[in-house]
Structure 1
Amino acid sequence: MDLVIRNATLADGRRNIDIAIDGDTIAAVGLALQVQAGRAIDVGGDLVSTPFVDAHFHMDATLSYGLPRVNASGTLLEGIALWGELKPQLAQDALVERALQYCDWAAARGLLAIRTHVDVCDERLLAVEALLDVKRRVAPYIDLQLVAFPQDGLLRSPGAFDNLKRAIGMGVDVVGGIPHFERTMAQGAESVRLLCEYAAGQGLMVDMHCDESDDPLSRHIETLAAETLRLGLQGRVTGSHLTSMHSMDNYYVSKLLPLIAESGVAAIANPLINITLQGRHDTYPKRRGMTRVPELLAAGVPVAFGHDCVMDPWYGLGSGDMLEVAHMGLHVAQMTGQAAMLQCFEAVTATPARILGLQGYGIAPGCKADLVWLDAGSPVEAIRLRAARRLVLRRGRVISEAPPARAALRLPGRPEMVDFRLNRAQE
């Protein structure tokens, strides 16, 4: 073997596990493996996880905060207006460099798969060309999946559908949409039908920004689920945001949830951004704005969390840390039970990996040797601490290392060092 990781805790609760790696593949997983390896790493009972996966991001806008000006109100609509101002000024080289810098951050965070939406309403398709270039460059260390996103509305923006088709022809992977941004509810429903029919004809996946609104009558997720069933797209369709569901009548939701589950449509919540941008018209009480994550999960709907934005016209914070996303999602959805907190960890790892259709993802013989050693003893502790990534492996090769989080104390009669973790016997 090339490498063996010893004494690991896995996300499913198994402890004292060894992971043997041969080349770019996991060869064996078990207790006290009797194997020889060129290098052995004893992680001392720490958590070793599959990589983090971001199921919803906007890499064409990332790290553009302050261009051409700062979002003074911090609202969704001002962010959209700012992006409209910025698009004519975009330079491909600068866009590529910002995206590559973000991918550096992602790799260091153990975030090795990202689904990013790319605006196709610019006739030049400059951002599409830039992110296709980025996708090729980062392929050795990050799986980058692109969504053709008609940001200004498929029917509302002249030429958007033709541009979307051109982007798919250039190599973009997934069909996107934004039905709630069309001028009428009827046009929104028509955009869903057109896009799903196109995706079905092309054999493609679908991921739509859907009902990113506080309006409880924004119900395009219903249309998306129905079209998925009609066209046989089960397992290939995702509804992102779904924030209007937070404000919907409970009786209607009791009808909607079984429809989504039957259709096989997955849901992606974006806790950091949903909690920031929604509820802006409220005084008090203010709505949380995030979709009904526990209820969706209870209905059998796969739910992932996305980062959505990092330092762009919509959000001036963020650093590519999916544990921060899980941390916010856990709090906003009040998912503080033990099983629920584990679901939040899965929402940034295994669940989005399934939604993206990642091959060879997992910790089992035959899976790709993509692993993250975390400075934590369990998934819950990893979320609590937003744990340091001690080691990040991509295809069996170390691509990032970081020291553990420690602080030296100068307190009489107290330990000289603190690591913010419980006694390891209690983990």
Structure 2
Amino acid sequence: MDILLKQVRLNDGESLKDVGIQEGKISAIEEHISETANQVIDAAGRVLVPGFVESHIHLDKALIADRKPNKSGTLQEAIKVTAELKPTFTKEDIYERAKKTLEMIIPYGVTAIRTHSEFDPAQGFTGFETILKLKEEYKNLVDIQVVAFPQEGIFKSPGTDKMMHEAMEMGADVVGGIPYNDAPANEHIDLVFEIAKKYDKPIDLHQDFSDEANDMSIEYLCRKTISEGYQGRVAVGHLTALHALPKAQLDPLIELIAEAGISVMSLPATDLHLGARNDEYNVRRAVTPIRKLRDGGVNVSIATNNIRNAFTPYGNGDILQTAMLAIPVAHLGGADDLPTVLPMITDHPAQAIGLKNYGIAVGNKADVVLLDTFVKTNAIIDIPERLYVIKDGKVTVENKKETIIHR
């Protein structure tokens, strides 16, 4: 074998297992494996999990919070500030920032990323081309999917429709969209589907990012997804407007989202920062209702969205910290709820972005992370060190950090 992980914890309440890795895949999972290996890692009962999946992030506009701050903290100013900055971005600038961001994220155990990369007639494909370049450069460390993302809208920004087709031909993996920042929203959705069907690609939309449940297009998106036979191939980020709906309206909408097979990616770090800025008292959380979506059969993930820019002026790339933030925000700390959070940064986003052969099972890709914790239920609340990150059967990160307490 190439790597043998000895005595790992795969699930609480079960016996420890040995996990063998050969030629980039998991070749064996048994209580005791006697075969030799080029590298033996003694886990001594520590938890092994699949590689974390960062399902919604913007690498091209990370690390710019200090250039032009969003002083009001509103979504409107975040969009305005970023639009003013984008013409100043060079390929070299985007490359250095996105590379630095990747090297923040990867040591924390992320083995797959879906990043939205934007373009418009004003800035051209400066950032988009750079992210495609980084996708290739970092392919041995992380799998990157690139979303063709029209941040400034399509109809509002003439010429963007042509650029959407060009982006797909240049190698975009996913068709992106932002109905709430374009008019009319339904026609924006129609065009996104037209492009997706032409290139046979999945869809990922920034959807109904609002404090109020006004002018939502999620119901139209659901019905469009079903009529086009795109169930399981559509994901949405934010969807914060749902939090403002009463139960009588929310429940049937969640049922429709589940029927359409639309995955929802909650982005709590951003949505908490930007949401409910006009509330003078009893300030709302303004985060999509994670628990209700989960209980309604919707595939829900947790993702980072932005790191240190006008939309989210903080973050260090650790997806476990984002998941930890979601626990109190979405009331996920109960004994029955806590075990449902880890899958929101592993199995659920893997499903949402269409990863194949994912997870700890014989024959699957050997993308795994050894955590410095002994209880799987505590895999998030401990925010444990990532001792080893293994990508495609090779150790890509090894953490030998040691803390000594002098008494």
Q: How would you bin the TM-score normalised by the shorter chain?
A: over 0.9
Q: Does 1:284 align with 2:290?
A: no
CA contact (8 A) 1:218 1:244 kept: no
CA contact (8 A) 1:391 1:398 kept: yes
Tell me how far apart the structure 2 counterparts of residues 274 and 79 of structure 1 sit (CA, whole Å).
12
Aligned equivalent of 2:43: 43
Deviation for aligned residue 1:404 = 5.7
Indicate the RMSD between aligned Cα atoms, in angstroms. Answer: 1.5
Aligned equivalent of 1:351: 348
Residues 250, 405 of structure 1: alpha-carbon distance in 2 compared, 3 angstrom cutoff:
farther
| Structure 1, unpaired ranges of 5+ | 411-427
Tell me how far apart the structure 2 counterparts of residues 73 and 379 of structure 1 sit (CA, whole Å).
40
Aligned equivalent of 1:57: 57
Deviation for aligned residue 1:322 = 0.8
Tell me how far apart the structure 1 counterparts of residues 26 and 12 of structure 2 sit (CA, whole Å).
17
Tell me how far apart the structure 2 counterparts of residues 50 and 398 of structure 1 sit (CA, whole Å).
14
CA contact (8 A) 1:210 1:241 kept: yes
Aligned equivalent of 1:372: 369
Aligned equivalent of 1:422: none
If the length of structure 1 is used for normalisation, what is the TM-score? Answer: 0.92
| 2:352 counterpart letter in structure 1 | I
CA contact (8 A) 1:19 1:26 kept: yes
Q: Does 1:208 align with 2:205?
A: yes
Q: Which runs of 4+ in 1 moved over 4 A?
A: none
Aligned equivalent of 1:27: 27
Tell me how far apart the structure 1 counterparts of residues 37 and 400 of structure 2 sit (CA, whole Å).
24
Aligned equivalent of 1:75: 74
Tell me how far apart the structure 2 counterparts of residues 29 and 80 of structure 1 sit (CA, whole Å).
48
CA contact (8 A) 1:217 1:248 kept: no
Tell me how far apart the structure 2 counterparts of residues 378 and 322 of structure 1 sit (CA, whole Å).
19
CA contact (8 A) 2:106 2:142 kept: yes
SS of equivalent residue, structure 2 residue 341: helix
| Structure 2, unpaired ranges of 5+ | none
Residue-by-residue CA offset, 1:191-211 (whole Å, 9 max, x unaligned): 112212321232110010000
User: Which residue among 305, 309, 331 is the counterpart of 2:306?
Assistant: 309
Tell me how far apart the structure 1 counterparts of residues 15 and 401 of structure 2 sit (CA, whole Å).
20
Tell me how far apart the structure 1 counterparts of residues 190 and 136 of structure 2 sit (CA, whole Å).
32
Aligned equivalent of 1:86: 85
Aligned equivalent of 2:247: 250
Alignment length, in residue pairs?
406
Aligned equivalent of 1:107: 106
SS of equivalent residue, structure 1 residue 60: helix
The 5 Å alignment of 1:336-347 reads 336-347=333-344
CA contact (8 A) 2:121 2:157 kept: no
Tell me how far apart the structure 2 counterparts of residues 14 and 56 of structure 1 sit (CA, whole Å).
33
Aligned equivalent of 2:146: 146
| 2:104 counterpart letter in structure 1 | W
| 2:358 counterpart letter in structure 1 | Y
| 2:170 counterpart letter in structure 1 | M
Deviation for aligned residue 1:405 = 6.5
Aligned equivalent of 1:319: 316
| 1:369 counterpart letter in structure 2 | A
| 2:119 counterpart letter in structure 1 | V
The 5 Å alignment of 1:387-426 reads 387-403=384-400, 406-410=403-407
Q: Does 1:132 align with 2:139?
A: no
SS of equivalent residue, structure 1 residue 134: helix
Aligned equivalent of 1:420: none
SS of equivalent residue, structure 1 residue 87: helix
Tell me how far apart the structure 2 counterparts of residues 155 and 368 of structure 1 sit (CA, whole Å).
41
Tell me how far apart the structure 2 counterparts of residues 190 and 251 of structure 1 sit (CA, whole Å).
28
